[in-house]
Amino acid sequence: MVQLEGRVIETAERLLANVERVVVGKREEIALVLSALISGGHVLLEDVPGTAKTVLARAIARSLDGASFARVQCTPDLQPTDITGLSIFDQKTREFEFRPGPVFANVILVDEVNRAMPRTQSALLEAMAERQVTIDGVTRPLPSPFLVIATENPIDLEGTFPLPEAQLDRFALRTALGYPTEDEEVSVLAAQRHGHPIDDIDPVVPAVELGALLAGVENVYVDELVVRWIVQLVRTTRALEGVAVGASVRGSLTLERTARAWALLHGRDHVVPEDVELLFLPVLGHRLLLTTAYIAETRSLGRAVALARIRDRALELAPPPAPDWDR
């Protein structure tokens, strides 16, 4: 087992604690988003307005020394070039000059992504999957780190365009922040009485430490039994009753990679089966296409409960192993 340096784990804890200063009471949700960041993934937040989605994205960007932040407000008339950028003809030089779009930032908030037309949504596909964009025949690399946080409003469906399965599959995980508890909401009001705490957030992770953190994810130990179990879990989703289309190989890769990052953020140098169980729905839930019959059967329960039943059934058919960490 490769041992992680203590400073790598300390960097992860410092990053998590800094973001938690402004997003109160959402440690697990913050850890999920940061797991995507340090494992090279992207996040879809499906939540109602006013639950600190924008604050979360800005807090992450501010916590990283030198990181840039951009926000894209999606509307039906948003064009792909409004995201990727475009070339403009310069009358003085008689040449085309490229003007980069917001996609060239380190942390991008794509607000209400399902309000953009499918053509505009597809402009994010290459960027999210390959960390590059091709404009006017020229391929341009995107900065590192690169994190897309897209949001959806589940209660407002008028004028929206549901994300296709190919787009959903590009997100490492989907989660929601949810409302704070009563005590947490009182704390939020008190903290914002004389301004917003986001204004007091300082960078806590220099570029060199961020690079070590990203590399540290690769050194988190995953036992061979856990790796095989992850594959078995994902393969099980392809044959479950109620699932029309199960998770792809990308689901297996993402679940294993995100589990490494999750373990690191919780101060461990190895993945335990509980990590995989906890990440099953955030990582695989949005990749599963449910049958019409199962959706109708569980309509009164809601999608969350319906997916939880799918997870429980998968865990029954592919129970967790008991790794030997000393091997």
Give 76-118 as a DSSP string. TT--THHHHEEEEEETTTTEEEEEE-GGGSSEEEEETGGGS-H
Q: DSSP assignment, residue 69?
A: E
Task: For residues 231 and 206, give the distance between their C-alpha atoms in angstroms, rounded to a whole number.
Answer: 36
Domains of the chain: residue spans and CATH:
220-327 (1.10.8.80)
Q: Where are the alpha helices (DSSP H) in the chain?
A: 6-20, 27-38, 53-63, 81-84, 118-121, 123-130, 165-168, 182-191, 207-218, 224-237, 249-265, 273-284, 292-297, 303-317
Burial class, 269, CB count within 10 angstroms (exposed 0-12 / middle 13-18 / buried 19+): buried
- Of 52, 1, 5, the residue nearest 208 (C-alpha): 5
3-class secondary structure, 207: helix
Query: What's the pLDDT score for residue 270?
Result: 92
Instruction: Report the alpha-carbon distance of residue 144 to residue 156 in Å, rounded.
Output: 34
Distance CA 74, CA 110 (A): 7
Q: What's the whole-number mean pLDDT along residues 220-243? A: 94
53-104 confidence digits (pLDDT tens): 889 988 998 999 988 899 999 999 999 999 999 888 778 877 888 899 999 9
pLDDT band per the 50, 70, 90 thresholds, residue 25: confident
Looking at every residue in the chain, the average pLDDT score rounds to: 88
pTM: 0.88
- What confidence score (pLDDT) does residue 287 get? 93
* Residue 2: per-residue pLDDT: 46
Per DSSP, 143 falls in state P
Find out whether the peptide bond into 145 is cis, omega within 30 degrees of 0.
Answer: yes
Is 1's pLDDT higher than 50? no
Side by side, which strands form the sheet with 147-152?
A: 69-73, 107-111, 147-152, 43-46, 173-175
Pick 61 or 325 by higher pLDDT: 61
Average the pLDDT over each of 139-148, 206-215, 264-273 and give the range with the smallest value: 206-215
pLDDT band with cut points at 50, 70 and 90 for residue 158: low
The average pLDDT across 16-37 equals 91
The residue that leads in pLDDT, 230 or 157, is 230
Residues linked to residue 107 through DSSP beta bridges, in sequence order: 69, 147
Q: Quick count: other Cβ atoms within 10 Å of Cβ 183? A: 10
Residue 141: strand pairing partners:
132
CB 322: neighbour CB atoms within 10 A?
8
